[in-house]
């Protein structure tokens, strides 16, 4: 998944680093792409604004590509930051969208 030099740079992460190295290439890629695709499918089911979902596809694709193909760490981190910002914006838009009447009751504390 990540390259040994990147993982070894974190002194307290020996155990997770060993687990990452023990994964073969296919298992490592499946462990990233399956949840990414599931997230995209789930968002596609609840939200029908294609540009937002397309932006998520692009950013998650960038993260995955830079994770498994040698790139500078800064490139990977830039894609990761773009994916995080995209997910925050999508989550905010989903939470702030109007809720059908009667579906949520007001709670009193």
- Residue 35 CA to residue 52 CA, distance in Å, equals 18
Token output for 74: 């800064």
Q: Would you say the C-alpha torsion 78, 45, 54, 31 has a positive or negative sign?
A: positive
Helix (H, G, I), strand (E, B) or coil at 106: coil
Check residue 1 and give its pLDDT: 52
Instruction: Name which of 12, 90, 99 is nearest 44 in CA terms.
Output: 90
Query: Which of 14-23, 49-58, 89-98 is predicted least confidently?
Result: 14-23
What integer is the mean pLDDT of 94-101?
A: 65
pTM of the model: 0.70
The share of the chain scoring above pLDDT 90, in percent, equals: 28
């Amino acid at each position: 998944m990540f390259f040994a030099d990147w993982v070894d740079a974190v002194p307290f992460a020996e155990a997770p680093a060993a687990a990452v190295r023990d994964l073969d290439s296919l298992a490592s890629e499946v462990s990233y792409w399956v949840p990414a695709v599931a997230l995209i499918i789930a968002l596609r089911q609840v939200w029908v604004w294609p540009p937002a979902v397309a932006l998520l596809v692009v950013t998650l694709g960038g993260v995955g590509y830079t994770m498994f193909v040698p790139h500078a760490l800064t490139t990977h981190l830039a894609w990761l930051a773009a994916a995080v910002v995209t997910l925050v914006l999508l989550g905010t838009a989903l939470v702030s969208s109007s809720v059908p009447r009667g579906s949520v009751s007001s709670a009193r504390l």
